[in-house]
A and B are shown apart, each in its own frame.
Chain A
Amino acid sequence: MASLKALKVRINSVKSTQKITKAMKMVAAAKLRRAQEAAVQGRPYAERLEAVMASLASKVSVSESSPKLLAGTGKDQVHLLVVATSERGLAGAFNTNIVRAARKKAEELERQGKTVRFYLAGKKGRVLRRFYPNGIAADHELGQHKVLGFDQAREVADDLIRRFEAGEFDVAHLFFAKFQSALVQEPVGIQIIPVAVPQGVETANDGGAAVTYEPDEESILADLLPRNVAIQLFRAFLENGASEQGSRMNAMDNATRNAGDMINRLSIQYNRTRQAAITTELVEIISGAEAL
């Protein structure tokens, strides 16, 4: 049986771990609120852009001369998987789930004989190096930013578009965790290049009045396409931000509770051991006195 001193040390160590997990949980809860607010505030822009894209796309026909971002390269061979993960760990299965979703897609594509490359946005996606040592196209460093803003999304989008135009890949998918609630975050993969134009979105045009376009529909669309890639990435970052904090909050809540259970168990063991020692001592004294 462990000595009293060893038990005491153990209990204190678990207690300090519990303090840390509790603090992390509270920090995550505060950050989650902010991340959720940011996600809500980003919605109007995305909705407007989507409506405008839909109304423009219905007027412009896709042909050989259409921008490549819309029509694609005409091939479907090289797929680029953009994996957006967090910069920090200790967030439960958050990063693991995203990476797993990306690997599943990669395996599926490879079975179809396609070439798969990875583009990592976020430090925790680097585990993919182990599985695909030669398949990493780029590792985009985002660690220096405390909060991922639109500028970072734009940076990544510009980089992606540059690579696309250089012919490095034909199709790009984006993987991130969609925030449903503080308890549920669902890893999802969407196609970002070529741009999938939203269909059937209600456009806010006045019944029949002709819209004036400056310059013309196609130029506006060409201007909007790269913007759309950036906004998709930005949305993913926002969703990821909220999901990460939600997931961490949960993980730390569980850890705090586990630590509490452990402290209880150890305390009982400590008290029993202490009681046993006292009883033994008493028996010794009494039997000593009786012997006299």
Chain B
Amino acid sequence: MLHFELVTPERLVRSEDVYMVTVPGSEGDFAVLEGHGPLMSTIRDGEVLVQKSANTAPEAIAIRGGFAEVNAKGLTVLAEHAG
């Protein structure tokens, strides 16, 4: 499972293990699964799609301004606004 965190300056919005997350990167959307290589990207305003397991419908969370980081611990999305 991929550890996914969504953080805004005001609070920690999400911190959970999920199957896949699709992030609206500034140079195109990208999806992150478990074991993704380290990556850092700015994001454009849009929606992150969170898929809890392989065959559930993704949940969309609107985000604005920020960036995403993938490291060995998982995916962290830092956004100015979420939800």
- The closest CB in chain A to the CB of B11 belongs to A41
Tell me, in angstroms, the Cα distance from A48 to B65 when the chains sit together. 15
Q: Is the CB of A214 within 8 A of B26?
A: yes
A206–B71 touching, CB < 8 Å:
yes
Chain A contacts of B40 at CB under 8 A?
52, 56, 211-214, 220
Do residues A41 and B38 form an inter-chain contact, with CB atoms below 8 A? no
Contact with B along A42-69 (1 / 0, CB 8 A): 1011101100100010000000000000
Query: Which B residues touch A224, using CB under 8 A?
Result: 67
Which residue of chain A lies nearest to B77 when distances are taken between CB atoms in the complex? A48
CB-defined contacts of A206 to chain B, threshold 8 Å: 38, 71-72
7 contacts between A and B (CB under 8 A): A44-B5, A45-B78, A52-B40, A205-B71, A215-B41, A220-B40, A223-B67
A44:B12 contact, CB within 8 angstroms:
yes
> Which one of A44, A56, A213, A219 has the greatest number of beta carbons of chain B within 10 Å?
A44
Supposing A45-B9, A215-B26 touch, asked if A204 and B71 sit within 8 A by C-beta, the answer is: yes
Task: Tell me whether A42 and B67 are in contact (CB under 8 A).
Answer: no
- Contact check, B38 vs A220: say whether CB atoms are below 8 A apart: no
- A214 & B27 in contact (Cβ 8 Å cutoff): yes
For residues 1 through 46 of chain B, which have their beta carbon under 8 Å from a beta carbon of chain A?
5, 7-12, 25-27, 37-42
Distance between Cα atoms of A211 and B37 in the complex (Å): 7
Residue of B nearest to A41 (CB): B11
Q: How far is the CA of A150 from the CA of B41 in the complex (A)?
A: 22
Establish whether residues A211 and B25, one from each chain, have CB atoms under 8 Å apart when the complex forms: no
Q: Does A38 contact B (CB under 8 A)?
A: yes
Per-position 1/0 for A199-239, Cβ under 8 A of B: 00000111001111111000110011001001100100000
How many chain B residues touch A (Cβ–Cβ < 8 Å)? 27
A side interface size, CB within 8 A: 32
Nearest-CB distance from A215 to chain B (Å)?
Answer: 6
- In the assembled complex, B59 has its CB within 8 A of some CB on chain A: no
CB of B77, distance to nearest CB on chain A (Å): 10
| 8 Å CB contact of B78 from A48, A150, A209, A234 | A48
Question: Nearest CB to that of A153 among chain B residues?
Answer: B9
Given A52-B40, A205-B71, A211-B38; A41-B12 close (CB under 8 Å): yes
Q: How far is A231 from B7 in the complex, measured between Cα atoms in Å?
A: 13
Q: Please give the distance in Å from A110's CB to the nearest CB on chain B.
A: 34
Name the CB-closest residue of A to B73: A204
The answer to whether B11 touches A220 (Cβ under 8 A) is no
Q: With contacts A52-B69, A204-B72 known, is A212 near B38, CB below 8 A?
A: yes
Contact string, B43-83, partner A, CB cutoff 8 A, digits 1/0? 00000000000000000000001110101110010101100
Closest to A209 in B: B38
Q: Does A149 contact B (CB under 8 A)?
A: yes
Give CA–CA (A38, B8) in the complex, Å.
12
The answer, yes or no, to whether A154 is at the interface (CB within 8 Å) is: yes
> Given A38-B10, A45-B8, A223-B67, are A213 and B80 neighbors across the interface (CB < 8 Å)?
no
Counting from the closest, the 5 A-B pairs by CB-CB distance are A214-B41, A41-B11, A206-B72, A211-B38, A150-B9
Q: How far is the CA of A150 from the CA of B82 in the complex (A)?
A: 12
A150 touches B10 (CB 8 A): yes
Check B42 against A219 for contact (C-beta < 8 Å): yes
